[in-house]
Amino acid sequence: MEAEVVIARNVFHTEEMETKKFEEDLSENLAVIYLSSEFAEKNGFTEDQVLRVTASERAVNLRVKISDDAGKPTIPNCIYSSFLTDFNSFKKLKVYLEVTELPPTRAEEIINLL
């Protein structure tokens, strides 16, 4: 299904870098896509399900987190969102969402592709 995704800052960035837990918690806290309960229910997505998020020819696997604060589907501003965006779509982009059985993408996988 096609959706418009917003890229937003997340408090995780500051807190985790200060506590030196950034590396171990990276994929758990940043490899996520926040969906409102209404959007998730309407499209059959559930908490902790992994979605393949594709924009143009790039894709990442992100874990679903339900949050009604999200409004539109939201990805934290991080390596995952940077990989999907370009100069013209660095705050909002159209993506294709599909359920996958694969685990969330690790940051190292993206780094190795660049």
0.85 exceeded by the pTM?
A: no
The better pLDDT of the pair 61, 89 is held by: 61
Residue among 82, 63, 74, 101 at smallest CA distance from 6:
74
CA angle 52, 7, 25 (to 5 degrees): 70
Interval 74-105: pLDDT, tens: 988 888 888 888 766 667 789 999 999 999 99
Q: Is the predicted pLDDT of residue 12 greater than 60, yes or no?
A: no
Q: How many Cβ atoms from other residues are within 10 Å of residue 40's Cβ? A: 21
Return the half-sphere exposure (C-beta side, CA atoms, 13 A cut-off) of residue 19: 11
pLDDT band at residue 113 under the 50/70/90 scheme = confident
Burial category of 71 from C-beta neighbours within 10 Å (exposed 0-12, middle 13-18, buried 19 and up) = middle
Q: Give mean pLDDT, residues 46-75.
A: 93
Q: Is 35 strand, coil or helix?
A: strand
Q: Give mean pLDDT, residues 3-26.
A: 58
pLDDT band at residue 65 under the 50/70/90 scheme = very high
Interval 20-34: pLDDT, tens: 555 556 667 789 999
Q: How far is 48 from 70, CA to CA, in rounded Å?
A: 16
Share of the chain above pLDDT 70, in %: 76
> Taking the domains of the chain in order of start, what are their residue ranges?
2-113
Domain 2-113 falls in which CATH fold?
Barwin-like endoglucanases (2.40.40)
